[in-house]
């Protein structure tokens, strides 16, 4: 089994902000109205699926970005998962808008959601699919990640859904090294 966590902030005002790129791509990939359920224990929405007959649990933490590790910790303990069976889909401003990059066992680059997950797992040995949200230029970091995407940028994100799906399939069936070689 794999745990695929999309990072974002819960609440209407955050729906189309840059920090919610993980949620937006996952929703485009799975369909916004997929049969999501809510776990009060994980404080997250979750959905069960399979990729090439391998069970998957997708989660979208409702903890706010900086506490995402709480939901990931609960889900990994519940399912008895090792950290290398965790995949995190999140925003990354070091990557151009509309592109992705896969990484494994890397530092957080000061991404508070990633730092929370690393702390909760006690390891950085998990896979990340980093969604490009563009360069912030002179805009302060906190303001930039909470800025709304333009309509054109939202289309670019939705167009990443099949790319992220292929990345997930490759990670799960052929390994993260192969996925990085093919996708990065």
H, E, C per residue of the chain: CEEEEECCCCCHHHCCEHHHHHHHHHHHHHCCCCCCEEECCCCEEEEEEEECCEEEEEEEECCCHHHHHHHHHHHHHHHCCCHHHEEEEEEECCCCCCCEEEEECCCCCCCHHHHHHHHHHCCCCCEEEEEECCCCCCCCHHHHHCCECCHHHHHHHHHCHHHHHHHHHHHHHHCHHHHHHHHC
Residue 18: per-residue pLDDT: 94
Structural domain count, the chain: 1
Residue 101: per-residue pLDDT: 97
How do residues 89-124 score in pLDDT, each as one tens digit?
A: 999 999 999 999 999 999 888 899 999 999 999 999
* CATH number for 75: 3.40.50.1470
pTM greater than the 0.85 cutoff = yes
More confident residue, 6 or 32: 6
How do residues 58-83 score in pLDDT, each as one tens digit?
A: 999 999 899 999 999 999 999 999 99
Joined together, the tokens standing for residue 130 give: 């980093």
Joined together, the tokens standing for residue 80 give: 């008895």
- Report the C-alpha gap between 122 and 117 in whole angstroms: 8
Residues marked as catalytic: 19
What is the band of 32 on the pLDDT scale with cuts at 50, 70, 90? low
Contact 115, 75 (CB under 8 A): no
Domain containing 96 equals 2-183
Stretch among 94-108, 114-128, 134-148, 155-169 having the lowest mean pLDDT: 134-148
Joined together, the tokens standing for residue 24 give: 């937006």
The percentage of the chain sitting over the pLDDT mark of 90, rounded to a whole number, equals 83
């Amino acid at each position: 089994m794999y745990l695929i966590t999309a990072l974002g902030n819960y609440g209407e005002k955050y729906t189309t902000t840059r920090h919610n790129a993980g949620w937006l791509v996952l929703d485009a990939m799975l369909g916004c109205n997929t049969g999501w359920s809510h776990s009060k224990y994980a404080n997250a929405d979750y959905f069960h699926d399979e990729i090439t007959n391998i069970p998957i649990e997708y989660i979208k933490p409702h903890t706010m970005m900086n506490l995402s590790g709480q939901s990931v910790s609960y889900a990994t303990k519940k399912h008895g998962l090792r950290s290398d069976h965790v995949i995190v889909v999140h925003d990354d401003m070091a990557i151009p808008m509309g592109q992705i990059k896969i990484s494994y066992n890397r530092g957080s680059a000061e991404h508070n959601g990633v730092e929370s997950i690393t702390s909760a797992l006690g390891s950085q040995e998990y896979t990340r699919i980093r969604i490009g949200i563009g360069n912030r230029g002179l805009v302060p970091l906190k303001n930039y990640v909470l800025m709304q995407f333009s309509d054109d940028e939202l289309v670019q994100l939705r167009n990443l859904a099949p790319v992220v799906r292929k990345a997930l399939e490759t990670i799960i069936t052929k390994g993260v090294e192969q996925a990085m070689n093919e996708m990065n």
